[in-house]
Structure 1
Amino acid sequence: MICAGGETDKQTCFEDSGGLLQCKQDSVWILAGVTNSGVPCGTGTTPDIYARVSKFQNWILQNVNGSDIGFVTFKSDGEDKDSSFLCYGEETVSGLFYPFGNGDIENPSEDDGSSPIVFLERSFVYFGRVYRQTYVNNNGHLKFDGLLSEPVPNYLLSQVNRDIIAPLWTNMDITVNGTISYRQVTRGGLLLAASNHINQYFPNLNFTASWLFIATWDKVPYFNNSQSSSSFQVVLVSGGSLSFVMMNYGNISSTDQWFQAGYGTIDSTNYSSIPVPDENKLSNSSNVNVPGRWAFRVDGGPEEVAEIFYPYGDEDTKNPKDHYGSSPLITLEQPFAYFGLVYNQLYVNNKGYLTFEGPFHQQYPNHFPAYSTRDIIAPLWTDIDITRKGIISYRQVTDGHLLNRASRDINQYYPNLNFSASWVFIVTWDRVPYYGYRWTESTFQVVLVSGKNMSFILMHYGNIAQAIHTVTSGYDTSDSTDFFTIPVSDTTILPYTSNVNVMGRWVFRTDTTSEHNGLFYPFRNGHKLQQYYGFEFPVNLYLQTPFSYFGLTYSYVYVYNNGFFTFNRQLFPSSPQTLPAYTDMDIVAPLWTDIDNSDIYYQQFSGVRVLQRATNDIRQYFPQTNFTADSVFVCTWDNVRYYNTSAENSSFQVLLISGFGLSFIVFNYGSIPQTEHTAVAGYDTIDSTTYYTVSVSNITNLTHSTNVNVMGRWAFRVDTLPTKLGNAFFFSFFS
């Protein structure tokens, strides 16, 4: 075998097996290895592994036809580079201090100086606030949000009112001697050492460090005291959602200056001062039984997940330890309402989500809105692998103190509901690793709560490892009529986020749909057309289900800004005409007029919510059809502003509804202001063999007009040709 590579973001990865490792000798490229393993991908923690081609020379000669295979003798340059190469993993902590010096970045030798802004290679969570930068001050402290000019603390850390970490804040002067330097560590033996230290001091966390920031004040003198010399260090440690600070003290000289040692926060909500009478006592003080070392957890998250998590563990039913596993069908002891639908079953998927209608195996998440046919609840949808460690479990509760707890929680966040929980379903992913990264661990939970025809979701986040694969957290519905994505770019900060002011908890009400437009079908979660101002060109959209229109079947529509669409081809010019128009194309025009600008949304629905609504509507208006919808295309013109007028906020919508050979169009009208331009509402066919004009004296009356006894709505069956009697056309779908 050959080990090679190891640079972050420059390694082999999944599905690279069999790839080539080539080396250039003079002008000739030589096949030296064949990719064997590239997991984990691009982290820089381990090299890639290759099969050494030279070891298989005899096998190749025996199995490959031809004599000119091209083996060469590799000529070394005579230098054994391995003998002088220091692997990252060999750097360890000897003594109290973490390594510093060679390779560090040094602060400028200025009185009251500071480092420039230091961009952190990983996020550092400091009591609920997430920082990606810091400043190393010559006077013995770190700050995150800017420089601090005071050389000497004039107040206690309990009164500092800023986020600051101060191993020894006093007036230093490195213009004479002494060095202040810093480094960041993202791989190697120092991460292991930090992990061991933190787990020793905080034994119940099972912590793994992924990043260190080491700042060292080495033999620095106090101001106006060049003979003094103090050495101390602060180490920021981060891993997953957890953050720690270690302060290490070597020789500390005495001074008559005011000093502070510890940390403080904005509004002084969290602070700690090391209780020593003199600074020279710091070297023998400790809160972890290691003289000269102090360690603090500073992420601000709950000390134990039990503070926000609902109970889980031995009493739960556990999921199978399969890579693409799922629970069997779980019959719910009480129905759960989810955005207009009621479910009596669900599935718990190992990849971090729940589904209702069947198991679903997809390790790489969809981004919400996904516009799929699936209802899904995803506290942390990513490629999770519990085949070797981690537990996924669930339980249902219909009586006892957990119902009281759920009732209190919901009434705290929704105080006007007077809610009483009658059922709770708890699912917990406990210390689950990501696929290919067994040392990672994440703990999270989703709780479904129902009672009094109301339902809610609680999502809880404990320690969450840095995302390796794509992640989505939130929920989605079929056709994305309702969805939400928790807005974080870094999964490790999920425990410090909330929509109810409880860190690590997100709560959503799910029994009712979020969009109540009355007549209008959902549209604002749909696709928004890009408008190209100054052009009359329509946007061509593909219909996932072909639409029958008076004897012809279409798979495309051309949507125009001016409030209409055509099927077979584009219409120029697109200025409104009267109906019948006697053109060579089919036209559907909910409100055809001169429009300057509008927000046009479209969406094709195939999920049960919208299909059931359309089915019910059409059966009400056309009761003899016994219709069942299998496709709904919705196009909405919203915030319409007519050309050369200030009137706006006009909104209207057209639906194309089809199923089992039948097709219908529905016009929905919101507020329609008056316009001085020509305006037409209705439909037309090629050569106007069939047409209809919505007959109103003023377009503002569209909101109050109807042919189906629902104000603002017009509905037409359009799959069949009308019946001709004499010189008039009578439409067979009118009663």
Structure 2
Amino acid sequence: MGLTDDVLYSYGTAEGDKETPVDDDGTSGEVPLSEVFKFFGKEYKSLYVNNNGVISFNKAVSQYTPDPFPLTNGETFVTPYWGDVDNDLGGMVFYRESKEPGLLQKITEDVQKYLPNLHFLAKWAFVATWDKVAYYGSASKKVNTFQAVLTSDGYRCIVILNYGDIQWTTGTASDGDADTGLGGIPAQAGFNSGDDTHYFNIPGSRTSEVLNIKSTTNVNHPGRWVFQVDDFKVPGGCIYQAKFAKEGEDFWTEDACSTKCTCQDGKVSCVSEACPARGTCEASGSFFTCKVKQRKCF
């Protein structure tokens, strides 16, 4: 299939990909890895590619309605888009482990662009792609395409999440609408280590805003999120309350807009500062923003 746009890496049977079973809530089963992948400080030698938009490390995942992170019973997940996929109604889920030089060169160039201080040289990759997958109970032709890439240079481990066309958020068993694929409990995107402190939610997760994930990014490339996951780090901003705050931007932490915070040089500082009386406090990404109406001049 090759590249479908400038975000997704090559995938499909022509690339040597395997396919998960065409089965609602199906899984690849345990996939052994030739290289160790380190995730939140723990090492893994196998993983599972689950049809419902989850890569898991300890066990297969058939759950279709996403729970909010953190999950604290050892659930170790990379979730590019955890929602109720039904590839029996449409689409395929592909995966492969690779040391193909062209792929590794492309990944190396991208990571060096986003994380230049790492001097990263990819030696191994695992690519999982959900290609034009439908949602459970679908009465429409809406489909989603997204991808998770795990890569390592033998020391550092990186995850790249890529988003093609995203048209739905929710299956009907999660109280979504059969005709629109919206509503109910929308998809979750992010990471969970299995404890109550090490997790991360991409802005919009489990809200209607996750439909717009293709237009969001932390590396100035819409539709792409990049993370160092051995010792978890997020380029392009700060982690605050397991959420992403953009570098240099002000945000408020709650819907009253009484505490103003700023992400600067990877660190967040906060002060008590209310939104002005002529402003309105509105949800924005993972936090809130103060929208101040400009006074008219006559």
2:169 alignment partner in structure 1: 467
Aligned counterpart in structure 2 of residue 493 of structure 1, from 212, 228, 232: 212
Q: Quick one: which amino acid aligns to residue 391 of structure 1?
A: M
- 1:447 deviates by 0.3
- 1:329 deviates by 1.1
1:309 alignment partner in structure 2: 8
- 1:305 deviates by 3.5
Q: Does 1:372 align with 2:91?
A: no
Q: Encode CA deviations 1:596-625: one digit per residue, 9 max, x unaligned.
A: xxxxxxxxxxxxxxxxxxxxxxxxxxxxxx
1:330 alignment partner in structure 2: 31
2:257 alignment partner in structure 1: none
1:511 alignment partner in structure 2: 230
1:446 alignment partner in structure 2: 148
- Separation in structure 2 between the aligned mates of residue 482 and residue 406 of structure 1, nearest angstrom: 26
Q: Encode CA deviations 1:442-476: one digit per residue, 9 max, x unaligned.
A: 00000001113100100001110132342101111
- Separation in structure 2 between the aligned mates of residue 460 and residue 500 of structure 1, nearest angstrom: 12
1:350 alignment partner in structure 2: 51
- Separation in structure 1 between the aligned mates of residue 158 and residue 130 of structure 2, nearest angstrom: 19
- Separation in structure 2 between the aligned mates of residue 373 and residue 328 of structure 1, nearest angstrom: 18
1:483 alignment partner in structure 2: 199
1:395 alignment partner in structure 2: 96
> The residue matched to 1:307 in structure 2 has which SS?
coil
- Separation in structure 2 between the aligned mates of residue 370 and residue 499 of structure 1, nearest angstrom: 24
- Separation in structure 1 between the aligned mates of residue 141 and residue 100 of structure 2, nearest angstrom: 38
Contact 1:465 1:491 survives alignment (8 Å): no
Aligned counterpart in structure 2 of residue 409 of structure 1, from 110, 126, 131: 110
> The residue matched to 1:463 in structure 2 has which SS?
strand
Contact 2:143 2:168 survives alignment (8 Å): no
Q: Quick one: which amino acid aligns to residue 202 of structure 2?
A: I
Matched residue count: 213
- Separation in structure 1 between the aligned mates of residue 197 and residue 49 of structure 2, nearest angstrom: 22
Kindly report structure 1 stretches of 4+ aligned residues shifted beyond 6 Å.
Answer: none
2:248 alignment partner in structure 1: none
Change (3 A) 1:509 1:320: same
Change (3 A) 1:364 1:400: same
Q: Quick one: which amino acid aligns to residue 309 of structure 1?
A: L
- Separation in structure 2 between the aligned mates of residue 486 and residue 352 of structure 1, nearest angstrom: 14
Q: Structure 2 stretches of 5 or more lacking a match?
A: 171-175, 177-184, 234-240, 243-298
5 Å matches for 1:109-148? none
- TM-score, normalisation: structure 1: 0.28
- Separation in structure 2 between the aligned mates of residue 350 and residue 466 of structure 1, nearest angstrom: 15
Change (3 A) 1:318 1:445: same
Contact 2:203 2:210 survives alignment (8 Å): no
- 1:370 deviates by 2.3
- 1:397 deviates by 1.0
- Separation in structure 2 between the aligned mates of residue 371 and residue 442 of structure 1, nearest angstrom: 29
- Separation in structure 1 between the aligned mates of residue 36 and residue 161 of structure 2, nearest angstrom: 19
- 1:408 deviates by 1.0
Q: Quick one: which amino acid aligns to residue 109 of structure 2?
A: R
Contact 1:399 1:422 survives alignment (8 Å): no
5 Å matches for 1:128-207? none
Q: Encode CA deviations 1:290-340: one digit per residue, 9 max, x unaligned.
A: xxxxxxxxxxxxxx7331111101121000011121002111121101011
- 1:431 deviates by 0.4
- Separation in structure 2 between the aligned mates of residue 491 and residue 399 of structure 1, nearest angstrom: 33
- Separation in structure 1 between the aligned mates of residue 32 and residue 58 of structure 2, nearest angstrom: 11
Contact 1:397 1:424 survives alignment (8 Å): yes
- 1:484 deviates by 1.0
Aligned counterpart in structure 2 of residue 432 of structure 1, from 114, 118, 133: 133
Aligned counterpart in structure 1 of residue 120 of structure 2, from 419, 437, 457: 419
- 1:388 deviates by 3.0
Q: Encode CA deviations 1:118-175: one digit per residue, 9 max, x unaligned.
A: xxxxxxxxxxxxxxxxxxxxxxxxxxxxxxxxxxxxxxxxxxxxxxxxxxxxxxxxxx
> The residue matched to 1:480 in structure 2 has which SS?
coil
- TM-score, normalisation: structure 2: 0.68
Aligned counterpart in structure 2 of residue 458 of structure 1, from 149, 160, 169: 160
- Separation in structure 2 between the aligned mates of residue 376 and residue 466 of structure 1, nearest angstrom: 21
Q: Structure 1 stretches of 5 or more lacking a match?
A: 1-303, 515-523, 526-735
Change (3 A) 1:506 1:336: same
Aligned counterpart in structure 1 of residue 64 of structure 2, from 347, 352, 363: 363
Q: Quick one: which amino acid aligns to residue 111 of structure 2?
A: I
Contact 1:392 1:428 survives alignment (8 Å): yes
Q: Encode CA deviations 1:400-430: one digit per residue, 9 max, x unaligned.
A: 1111111111111111111111101000000
Choose between structure 1 and 2 for higher RCO, CA contacts under 8 A separated by at least 6 residues.
Answer: 2
Larger radius of gyration, structure 1 or 2?
1
- Separation in structure 2 between the aligned mates of residue 395 and residue 466 of structure 1, nearest angstrom: 25
Contact 1:463 1:492 survives alignment (8 Å): no
- 1:513 deviates by 4.7
Q: Quick one: which amino acid aligns to residue 390 of structure 1?
A: G
> The residue matched to 1:360 in structure 2 has which SS?
coil
- Separation in structure 2 between the aligned mates of residue 428 and residue 477 of structure 1, nearest angstrom: 22
> The residue matched to 1:456 in structure 2 has which SS?
strand
